[in-house]
Amino acid sequence: MRNFDYHAPASLDAAVALIGDKEDGKLIAGGMTLLPTLKQRLAAPSDLIDLAGVAELKGIKREGDEIVIGAMTCHADVAASDVVKSAIPALASLAGVIGDPAVRHRGTIGGSIANADPAADYPGAVVGLNAKIVTNKRVIAADDYFIDLFETALEQGEIITSVRFPIPERAAYQKFRHPASGYAVVGVMVAKFGADVRVGVTGAAGSAFRASDFEAALSENFSADAIKGVKMSPDGLLSDIHCTNEYRAHLVGVMARRAVAEA
């Protein structure tokens, strides 16, 4: 690990000022990705700005028809939240299967979404539940947020402050879990908002995306049978040591049917 200057701001304004002042500074939330990267000497920021002490970035509440989760809220708190369980149980369930207990008690929703690992679970929820990413500068719609592999719409100096999840009529999340890491080889969040249905997919491509053919079929008939004949194209999906793009395409259909059946 290379040398860096460490900062622990107590407010969002102080964090914004620090990240704007440091040319090669990095924000750190739970550190689940950044710390291993630093240890492997794959990154060498001049400064680390730790958001752990910024109280205004933590917490869960319901505001009207939305659940608002502070960016520094850890996965375990989302999984255990009665507010989340009563409004969007699928989101609590998703948070409860991220990584292992150590990861769930340190990793944060804002850190996960900002990092945008292609196999992370929260991106599937952001897309499937049509969440809004709130930053210190603006509000970013789910469909505009994920760009590509580890790439998002966040700009330099922009800090996620909270994530707002609309409350669906029903929803469920299913994933094919990597046996060692717990990451999603493929994960699918299905959510029904009246006549509209959203299907968010994570793990299958460079970034989370919507499965439009599945959405169209489920909008007509919200049942697992309605998407039995719908096939996901393997074009553009990931192939790696775990499975081919063709198998990932198959898994999208399997996980989507399981999610609909659960919902």
Cα(147)–Cα(164) distance, integer angstroms? 19
CATH 3.30.160.60 fits 58-262, yes or no: no
The yes-or-no answer to whether 5-50 and 58-262 have a common fold is: no
Q: Is the pLDDT of residue 29 over 90?
A: yes
Question: Quick count: other Cβ atoms within 10 Å of Cβ 221?
Answer: 11
Predicted local distance difference test score (pLDDT) of residue 2: 87
Instruction: Of 115, 44, 116, 107, give the one whose Cα is nearest residue 79.
Output: 107
Band (74; pLDDT cuts 50, 70, 90): very high
Q: Is the pLDDT of residue 15 over 90?
A: yes
CB 49 within 8 A of CB 15: yes
Please report, for residues 17, 21, 23, 30, 45, the alpha-carbon distance to residue 3 in angstroms, rounded to integers and kept in the order given. Answer: 21, 18, 15, 20, 8
219 burial (CB, 10 Å; 0-12 / 13-18 / 19+) is middle
Check residue 227 and report its DSSP letter. Answer: G
Q: 3-state DSSP call for residue 24? A: coil
On the question of pLDDT at 23 being above 90, the answer is: no
Residue 26, beta-bridge partner list = 48
Instruction: Average the pLDDT over 32-52 and give the result.
Output: 92
**Per-residue confidence (pLDDT) for residue 95, from 0 to 100:** 98
Radius of gyration for the chain, computed over Cα atoms and rounded to the nearest angstrom:
18
125: Cβ contacts below 8 Å, ≥ 6 apart: 90, 91, 94, 131, 165, 173, 189, 200
Residue type, 236: G
Domain extents in the chain: 5-50, 58-262
Q: For the domain bounded by 5-50, which CATH number is listed?
A: 3.30.43.10
- If one counts every other C-beta atom within 10 angstroms of the C-beta of residue 160, the result is 27
Question: What is the residue-averaged pLDDT of the chain?
Answer: 96
Residue 133's φ and ψ, nearest 5 degrees, are: -95, 115
Per-residue pLDDT, 138: 97
pLDDT tens digits, 162-192:
999 999 999 999 999 998 888 999 999 999 9
